[in-house]
């Protein structure tokens, strides 16, 4: 039995969905812990593309239990849409999917407020997905939130909705000059969702603990990335939850002291990307950035926005390893670097004339970080059909092993293409 946590090492979009799908074959339980449908995890199996926003990516494997954990915020319409999409694809998960009663609901006013807050920021926009995730977490923290479990009692849900909506409508009308939202319509919609979601609602924390005690392999799928963490990321250009490894355990309700075999797998691209605003020391504005974006298909799975692209930031990768306690790495999209004569990896920053090897704590220094690069030879070959690590071009192997030596952490998995089969394993996780 083992627990493996998959975390993003940069600003999300590292390829966690593909890695979770691959590892899901040897796990019995796959769980999401944090975030909501602001996630967009892409999996391609035998030419068929699946984009997961709420469901764990590993549920494509037959018989795997999927769990949406306590720390999530859930838009019922989005969740039911995903379940129905998989059913139409012949991947019915309804008998093996469980939704935490402690997870919080995303409601219509959350999405409206998300857009309002973003517009108010003007030139300091965060680049949110507009899905209402931040306002839902805001309500959770301020204790205005409504939980999934509240849907099981129609009278209780109606009471909570009335009180909360009265407050939100007051805010919308008086502060933002917006029309009030209709109580009866929202109540009707969500009671309709309740009837459909009721079979999935469970005490998922207890379930995961029991699964672990039974010797099952548990895979926890992180959303977003370390640098979007509310505490440890590039605040305020962050998400509203805790995508680091500790947040994963918190979000599924599994106590650290009860786990005897824990693997933390950090996922990073062979280069770095981010969506939205905020610092990005290795960003490439010129032709090379466009090359990486076009060849790598770097457009947000949730928003469709083009991702900012740059060389691999080893400073942030090392920071993420420390924050998460990463034990192994998965390197994705190595194939995208094919055809580039000279590759770069950022090994340090030059900040106000001083070379530093850690990400600065103070935000006023972020824009002053000048990357110090290690340069190495690239390769011309298309490596997407390679089935063994040792069949990679020697320069591709040297690139991988440079990162491994730099990090002093084993690279367990190397991804060389979009499909599940385009995965080279150097170390077994389960």
Q: What is the rounded distance in angstroms from the CA atom of residue 311 to the CA atom of residue 370?
A: 13
Catalytic, out of 10, 41, 53, 232: 41
Beta-bridged to residue 369, according to DSSP, are: 351
CA 119 to chain centre: 24
The SS3 call for residue 16 is helix
Q: Is 229 a catalytic residue?
A: no
Q: What is the rounded distance in angstroms from the CA atom of residue 234 to the CA atom of residue 360?
A: 10
CA distances to 30, 32, 268, 331, 423 from 426, rounded to whole Å, are 22, 26, 16, 11, 10
Residues 292, 309: contact at Cβ < 8 Å? Answer: yes
**What does the buried/exposed string (b/e) look like for 130-152 if buried means 16 or more CB atoms within 10 Å of the residue's CB?**
ebbbbbbbbbbeeeebbbbbbbe
Q: Is 232 a catalytic residue?
A: no
Residues 369, 360: contact at Cβ < 8 Å? Answer: yes
Cα angle, residue 358 at apex, residues 7 and 222 outer, rounded to 5°: 10
Catalytic, out of 13, 21, 229, 335: 13
| Phi and psi at residue 102, to the nearest 5° | -90, -15
Torsion of CA 373, 378, 384, 385, to 10 degrees: -140
Residues 413, 330: contact at Cβ < 8 Å? Answer: yes
Q: Residues with catalytic annotation?
A: 13, 41
């Amino acid at each position: 039995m083992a627990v493996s946590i998959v975390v993003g090492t940069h600003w999300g979009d590292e390829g966690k969905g593909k890695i979770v799908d691959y590892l899901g074959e040897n796990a019995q339980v796959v769980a999401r812990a944090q975030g909501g449908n602001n996630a967009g995890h892409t999996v391609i199996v035998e030419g068929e593309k699946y984009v997961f926003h709420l469901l764990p990516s590993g549920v494509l494997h037959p018989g795997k239990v999927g769990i949406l954990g306590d720390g999530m915020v859930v838009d019922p319409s989005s969740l039911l849409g995903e379940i129905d999409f998989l059913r139409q694809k012949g991947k019915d998960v309804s008998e093996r999917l469980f939704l935490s009663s402690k997870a919080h609901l995303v409601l219509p006013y959350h999405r409206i407020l998300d857009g309002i807050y973003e517009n108010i920021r003007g030139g300091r926009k965060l680049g949110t997905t507009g899905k209402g995730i931040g306002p839902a977490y805001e309500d959770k923290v301020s204790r205005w939130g409504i939980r999934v479990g509240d849907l099981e009692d129609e009278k209780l849900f109606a009471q909570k909705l009335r009180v909360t909506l009265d407050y939100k409508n007051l805010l919308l009308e008086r502060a933002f000059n917006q029309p009030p939202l209709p109580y009866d319509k929202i109540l009707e919609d969500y009671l309709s969702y309740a009837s459909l979601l009721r079979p999935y609602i469970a005490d998922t924390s207890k379930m995961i603990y029991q699964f672990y005690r039974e010797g099952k392999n548990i895979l926890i799928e992180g959303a977003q990335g370390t640098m979007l963490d509310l505490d440890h990321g590039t605040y305020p250009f962050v998400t509203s939850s805790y995508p680091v490894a500790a947040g994963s355990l918190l979000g599924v309700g599994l106590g650290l002291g009860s786990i005897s075999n824990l693997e933390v797998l950090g996922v990073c691209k062979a280069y770095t990307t981010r969506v939205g605003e905020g610092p990005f020391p290795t960003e490439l504005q010129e032709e090379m950035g466009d090359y990486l974006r076009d060849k790598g298909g770097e457009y947000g799975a949730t928003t469709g926005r083009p991702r900012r692209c740059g060389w691999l930031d080893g400073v942030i990768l090392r920071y993420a390893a420390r924050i998460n306690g990463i034990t192994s790495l998965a390197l994705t999209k190595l194939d995208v670097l094919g055809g580039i004569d000279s590759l770069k990896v950022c090994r340090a920053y030059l900040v106000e004339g001083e070379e530093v090897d850690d990400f600065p704590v103070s935000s006023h220094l972020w824009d002053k970080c000048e990357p110090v690069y290690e340069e190495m030879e690239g390769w011309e070959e298309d490596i997407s059909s390679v089935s063994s690590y040792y069949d990679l071009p020697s320069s591709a192997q040297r690139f991988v092993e440079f990162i491994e030596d730099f990090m002093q952490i084993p690279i367990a998995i190397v991804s060389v293409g979009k499909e599940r089969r385009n995965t080279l394993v150097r170390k077994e996780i389960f």
